[in-house]
Amino acid sequence: MCGIIGILGDHQAAPIMVDALKRLEYRGYDSAGIATVEDGRLDRRRAVGKLVNLADLLVSDPLAGKAGIGHTRWATHGVPSVANAHPHRSGRVAVVHNGIIENFRELRAELGGTWESQTDTETIVRLCESFLDRGMSPQDAAFATVDRLRGAYALCFLFDGEADLLVCARAGSPLAIGHGQGEMFVGSDAIALGPLTDRLTYLEEGDRAVVTREGATIWDSNGARANRDVVRVPVDSQRIEKGGHRHFMAKEIHEQPQTLSDVLDLYLDGDRVSPPAEVDFAALSRLTIVACGTAYIAGTVAKYWFEQIARMPVECDIASEYRYRDPVIDPEGAALFVSQSGETADTLAALRHAASGAKAILSVVNVPESSIARESDVAFPIRAGVEIGVASTKAFTNQLAVLLCLAVLAARQRGAIDAAREAAIVGELRRLPGLMSLALATEGRCAELSHWLAEASDILFLGRGPMFPLAHEGALKLKEISYIHAEAYASGELKHGPIALVDRTLPVVVLAPTDALFEKTVSNMQEVMAREGQVLLVTDAEGEAAGGGGCRAVLRMPACDPVLAPILYSVPAQLLAYHTAVHKGTDVDQPRNLAKSVTVE
């Protein structure tokens, strides 16, 4: 979601901060702004819309100073406007804020007066200014302010007359401090700081920090001085460029054969699965998988694998619902949390809830330094690299690959699979990057089909078995970036209500590899065609020969072992959504109202 940058540097901060904020555009935003201190004077510039609007403003109305803070805002309180944009300021203090202050209304009532914005963040600067008015130092005023806040936040304060001071705090939203040579930086993630430094200190939950050009002093949630590690986190600049593609999403779709190869090299050893971290599934009674969005869909696919291959009972929960339904936590079971960023607020809160009762806390994450990874007993990396497009692609397929590897490991440990079957699945996994390359060769056909799909107002996705959650992924991708209403159903559920939607105007995408459920899927598909539904069948050559007759169109996929089909068939789901969005002219990489890393409830 919102992005933060803070600089205490040797050079003019404004252009550096704008460049850093460009690297954070992938998080989703509706306005942007910066504030600096020059000759002891605090000043700021803000603009609605894309960063180019802020850049244009800075040309006509420059902002000097070597100390500053900047922000890209994703609206939570108040419409996108200059008044609601960050940094927020009150007199001698400015702040940038990611998160939500839950008690801002009572603080507003206490502070009184008139307000410039509709945001919760303005409450922070007004409260801090009130402490400054009582004679407190900037550091003490910032800390006193944080003491009064309830909710989730990553904060960076800048003060009038203080060109060598940033005060930071973190609760429920990530924040990192970057170390340079006589310079210091603050950022919401490593990408923001990548070209500036690769030496980062990640603040932990409840930490507060005072940053000067000489370094950072950190206190933990109990007020004790804390020694946090400085880690090297190099960011490959090539990973945050489009590499000749029109959009980051297109680039990331085409990176999947390589990213899958990278992660499988980590998890496979000869004919066996050998993950980089240890867990004993035989000692666990059951598994609860918790996640949000696309990561949740990956978890629902994994439910099929763990139950069918490992014979292990599995529940799947949407993270935002998990703790509020007051689940019965099995003390002999494990909870597994899936998150691309490792900072998803609902997933992190669910993890903390489960940690009080589960035997083991596991996670599947893309960022090893993330909060979810650090707070897990065992964290399994997915090695997808930086993913800029808001609609997840390569992170999803790598999540699936890791979850399948873990299901095979669980099967071996629980005695549910023999060495020959494990070797066969491992062999198929080794073929997967090549199969993904063949699947990507369908792009031209997907682009042709997108012209038809782009004309629809509603689209239905169908699948059976593990292809049912993948149908949800196809519908989600299409909704996210093309803004076409799409729904997914289990094929066998169609006649229990959704078939009422079917007419000659409705495209129905059927994901049907040749597997044990193929004939049943074809029967359900015939029910659609009998009502003039326009079917797009996504299948292999055998499936096309057996069930392609009467379809509006067929998208032919390479044949594969059915266990791999949810991973392989992700490609056409992604390509159909991508090209439909391109044909409609929507903002593919930064779709409206969405954010990449959702760090608020």
Catalytic residues: 2, 596
Residues with Cβ < 8 Å from 167, sequence gap 6 or more?
138, 139, 142, 143, 155, 156, 157, 159, 208, 209, 210, 211
Q: Which residues pair with 47 in a beta bridge?
A: 32
Buried b (16+ CB within 10 A) or exposed e, 90-129: bebbbbbbbbbbeebeebbeeeeeeeebebbbbbbbbbbb
Cα distance between residue 426 and residue 439, in whole Å: 20
* CB-side neighbour CA atoms (13 Å) of 526: 9
Cα distance between residue 244 and residue 169, in whole Å: 39
Pairing of strands 485-490, 378-381: unpaired
Element (H, E) at 226: strand 225-226
CA angle 150, 153, 154 (to 5 degrees): 150
Q: Are 269 and 402 in contact (CB under 8 A)?
A: no
Say whether 509 sits in a helix, a strand or coil.
Answer: strand
Q: Residue 570's closest CA among 581, 582, 557?
A: 557
Packing angle, helices 443-453 and 570-584, rounded to 10: 50
Tell the residue number behind the tokens 């490593």, with chain if given.
190
Contacts of 13-16 with CB under 8 Å at 24 or more apart are 13/65, 13/66, 13/67, 13/68, 14/58, 14/62, 14/63, 14/64, 14/65, 14/68, 15/58, 16/196
Q: Are 2 and 74 in contact (CB under 8 A)?
A: yes
Asked whether the CA dihedral 498, 501, 503, 504 is positive or negative, the reply is negative
Tell the residue number behind the tokens 């099967």, with chain if given.
411
Cα distance between residue 64 and residue 14, in whole Å: 7
Query: Cis omega (within 30 of 0) on the bond before 368?
Result: no
Cα distance between residue 352 and residue 363, in whole Å: 12
Q: Residue 66's closest CA among 97, 87, 94, 41?
A: 41
